[in-house]
Structure 1
């Protein structure tokens, strides 16, 4: 007779697994399990999963019976999926945002200012007031904010508030003064100081101009940095995310990750992209790839930038913005410099991952890769374009020809749908957020969220990929619905495809024998429920390497 374990006993047993490696064979049964499998056109289904020493040893569809030596855990009929992988996020940024003024969802410039005032009142010891999340597209006035509204608060500290996409920032006069920004300050290359009709800075800075102020902000202490990481890790695990491709890490991040890795204290898996703008880049490349034996830390790629973002009109376009006829966006990295960087990185055996949002930005990156492959090779390194949001229909086939992975964030489509048409016009939308066009030609899509630009919740991404609707399930039928993903395609993009994009498909991304036992239990079957409900999915448990890392609190506890 199969051993039954009560709900309370199960909870106590699982908690004991969080402190050390589990060598005992465990089976979680009474589940509705699903996993992608390489070269299979649909998800494999199973009702129990066996794992030992952190790795899968079999499932109900691959083993005849549960091994007699395994201890059984009742999954209580819940749905089990591979742990989800976010192929593009910013962990330090997420942790910092959780400790700063949150301007996400504000409906006006004045409401954003009120939140800043409230944050300043509760954080009297902060030398700077920092925040993130404003989006003028959601404000009734739909205009960039101005330093005047911040100056009128009477706050006697420098203020810098980053737009939701990270490609624009809003500063008060004190912050501008500390950075030496005035009406005579020239725009930096790849950046813009927004000015009024008299040529005076308004307080809004675009792309590389943000650095003029950021460079004046004191670096966080080690304690502050580790606290931010801890908050981010806990949040990600609560969302069912077991691995993150951290897009643009610096030396402090590397030091923290390596220290945690050596002490076996990384709670999630990190695939680090080195910041290509960092002065340490050549040193890092010469030191070679970093990888631990348990796949918790892997650093073998570099993050570069081609252009800015669509919301701040910094994405580089082939033709002017439809709502700004004199503006074609910005190239954050100039073509010659980008070519030299790509050649250098590929020659050292590192993968190149380049941010490109506009159609000109994407074409520049494709041209750069094509030239680099001829000059130094590196086509097999699984190079990626991060975002690939707006691509000329002529350029989409080049992703396949050049073996470029499209690292895309489905939530960007549903966040941008209210302004993308204004920025681009109807014709260019045909190559925007074009997931199904990429998939049908055989291009791999690795999905993520770009947190903290967007919320990190991967079920928001799955919902957006499958429905192309917002959380009010609008518009009816989905926005540009011809590029929706199927449920299978969406789940694969957040699991096996994301693992492939990190050279990790042999150990991560699916629940196959010999792979790490990274899985989640969720409160509804996202293969069966109405697609409109997928974004509401709640994670009950998150397991990484056969260990329980997150347990949701009971919702009906007595």
Structure 2
């Protein structure tokens, strides 16, 4: 089966042939990219005819590849109470009350809400909600609400009881459980404890998981996302990656999986990583539709919650430097375990101390096991100085970044870490132009996986929301070509699949999108009003804008 895409403005993301006007697809891959005349010559040579698709002078790009998100969390979140946009604790209480009213049957069923951000509260005191606030909604129905960063959660009394987090057990969790002046848990839990809790209370089963995947994949395709790299293990019941893999495998076998998923497997202990490898999983396992691509590690928290690990105390709260989730020897051991199996790690590191620790652990593994060369990376890598930026290149470490983060972080970065450190942070152009492999993602559902705001943030460095336009570190503004490469071919490189996808190149999978505006020709403000009209995967149109 041959398909001819003609009359397109093709930007291939392949430096050997940057632009074209026609592409010929056989089955699931491109066999010709170039001029319309060249495509017709190829058809004559083959002695075949092709189904013709007139692109009508629209921009054609490789499908977007979101290099870091939480796809199952996003899909599961469609069933949670939406707390995004709440402006007060009272508004959270009102929405959670409705969630309690319609919650599934069963005394142990948690009511979950997510998306609140105390910095957006308009009430006098911009504080975290507490157990007492949720108890006013219900002290008998277990509830958990998560901040928009998903590094902070709040439990009510019923949830604390169900999880056995008490005055007596709280000290065993250290800084991961907050207590009041009397030593009683105030409801706030953090970081790895929150991750464990999400897995413990997950109500997903195989059939539910498949159902939400099918629903969420259409949302992804509507944004032009044909591939994604996702941290999902922690959102399955008891972190059961076998169940997760089975759900994707069954959908693939049914021909129902229409996006390509690379799993960034969250495994925070050496014995768990070793069990994963002993079970036969590595970055060669799976298919072009679904496969594990790396081990995910969490080295710190978030800037908004002041849990990102810093080398110096926070400028607006000198009492803390954030949270280091591992000691350096612990992190070294985790990275080395994966490295010895030639499996990459992707380390969540936002603060400069966490970035430093991640780079140290990667360098240690490279020195101790030089025969292996997995593509290790750092996720977020927000707060950096020039020395840290240079080490990315020296160690050949990938940067998984989220341009949309500056929409919020430009408002808090300087107050959190000071002017000097801010000036060398969120330095994606610096990294890219110094030869570092930089890939774009959204960290959805921390942010929506809307692709155009992400591109806009990269090429303008301006805010998407809020009043008035503000430019954040304009020296880091990227060109549209650079930004699109970070969203396509660099995403494929990050998952070790640049030979299969990421550019419109003969021999690669025919995953591409058609847009209603030419991103290379329009005013930057029009990026936010650009839409994906069609998304094709394996040479089949899987989404068409109504």
Q: Output the TM-score relative to the length of structure 1.
A: 0.89
Aligned to 1:72: 52
Question: Does residue 283 of the first structure (1) align with residue 260 of the second (2)?
Answer: no
Aligned to 1:25: 2
Aligned to 1:34: 11
Structure 1 residue 97, shift from structure 2 partner: 0.7
Structure 1 residue 248, shift from structure 2 partner: 4.7
Aligned to 1:185: 169
Aligned to 2:18: 44
Of 234-243 and 207-216, the range deviating more from structure 2: 207-216
Of 265, 285, 290, 1:274 maps to 265
Report the secondary structure of 1:325's partner residue. Answer: coil
In 1, Cα distance between the equivalents of 2:113 and 2:307? Answer: 21
In 1, Cα distance between the equivalents of 2:95 and 2:371? Answer: 48
Where does 1:97-116 land on structure 2 (aligned, <5 Å)? 97-116=77-96
Structure 1 residue 78, shift from structure 2 partner: 2.2
Report the secondary structure of 1:413's partner residue. Answer: helix
Question: Does residue 137 of the first structure (1) align with residue 112 of the second (2)?
Answer: no
In 2, Cα distance between the equivalents of 1:436 and 1:527? Answer: 18
Of 193-202 and 493-502, the range deviating more from structure 2: 193-202
Aligned to 1:515: 508
In 1, Cα distance between the equivalents of 2:477 and 2:467? Answer: 14
In 1, Cα distance between the equivalents of 2:149 and 2:465? Answer: 22
Asked if 2 retains the 8 angstrom alpha-carbon contact of 1:447 and 1:493, the reply is: yes
Of 239, 243, 253, 2:223 maps to 239
In 1, Cα distance between the equivalents of 2:153 and 2:394? Answer: 37
Residue segments in structure 1 that go unaligned for 5+ positions in a row = 1-23, 554-558
Question: Does residue 257 of the first structure (1) align with residue 248 of the second (2)?
Answer: yes
In 1, Cα distance between the equivalents of 2:36 and 2:375? Answer: 30
Q: Deviations over 1:55-90 (max 9, x none)?
A: 112233496243352221122332211100000011
Aligned to 1:398: 391
Q: Deviations over 1:95-148 (max 9, x none)?
A: 111111111121222112222122332335362101211111111232111222
In 1, Cα distance between the equivalents of 2:377 and 2:527? Answer: 28
Report the secondary structure of 2:459's partner residue. Answer: helix
In 2, Cα distance between the equivalents of 1:293 and 1:216? Answer: 27
Question: Does residue 298 of the first structure (1) align with residue 291 of the second (2)?
Answer: yes
Structure 1 residue 216, shift from structure 2 partner: 4.8
Of 531-540 and 275-284, the range deviating more from structure 2: 275-284
In 1, Cα distance between the equivalents of 2:350 and 2:114? Answer: 21
Of 530-539 and 308-317, the range deviating more from structure 2: 530-539
Question: Does residue 346 of the first structure (1) align with residue 328 of the second (2)?
Answer: no
Q: Which portions of structure 1, spanning 4 or more consecutive aligned residues, are displaced by more than 6 angstroms?
A: none
Aligned to 2:34: 60
RMSD: 2.2
Judged with a 3 Å threshold, the aligned counterparts in structure 2 of structure 1 residues 353 and 50 are, in CA distance, closer, same or farther, namely same
In 2, Cα distance between the equivalents of 1:156 and 1:341? Answer: 40
In 1, Cα distance between the equivalents of 2:163 and 2:338? Answer: 32
Judged with a 3 Å threshold, the aligned counterparts in structure 2 of structure 1 residues 394 and 151 are, in CA distance, closer, same or farther, namely same
Structure 1 residue 268, shift from structure 2 partner: 0.7
Aligned to 2:72: 92
Question: Across the two proteins, how many residue pairs are aligned to each other?
Answer: 527
Aligned to 2:238: none
In 2, Cα distance between the equivalents of 1:107 and 1:93? Answer: 23
In 1, Cα distance between the equivalents of 2:262 and 2:37? Answer: 32
Asked if 2 retains the 8 angstrom alpha-carbon contact of 1:189 and 1:208, the reply is: no
In 2, Cα distance between the equivalents of 1:373 and 1:237? Answer: 38
Of 172-181 and 510-519, the range deviating more from structure 2: 172-181
Aligned to 1:12: none
Report the secondary structure of 1:381's partner residue. Answer: coil
In 2, Cα distance between the equivalents of 1:407 and 1:432? Answer: 14
Residue segments in structure 2 that go unaligned for 5+ positions in a row = 234-240
Q: Deviations over 1:283-338 (max 9, x none)?
A: 32231435578611232411111111111111100000111101001111222221
Aligned to 1:128: 110
Q: Output the TM-score relative to the length of structure 2.
A: 0.91
Question: Does residue 171 of the first structure (1) align with residue 155 of the second (2)?
Answer: yes
Aligned to 2:237: none
Asked if 2 retains the 8 angstrom alpha-carbon contact of 1:473 and 1:532, the reply is: no
Aligned to 2:406: 413
Structure 1 residue 524, shift from structure 2 partner: 1.4
Aligned to 1:385: 378
Of 185-194 and 404-413, the range deviating more from structure 2: 185-194
Report the secondary structure of 1:76's partner residue. Answer: coil
Asked if 2 retains the 8 angstrom alpha-carbon contact of 1:467 and 1:477, the reply is: no
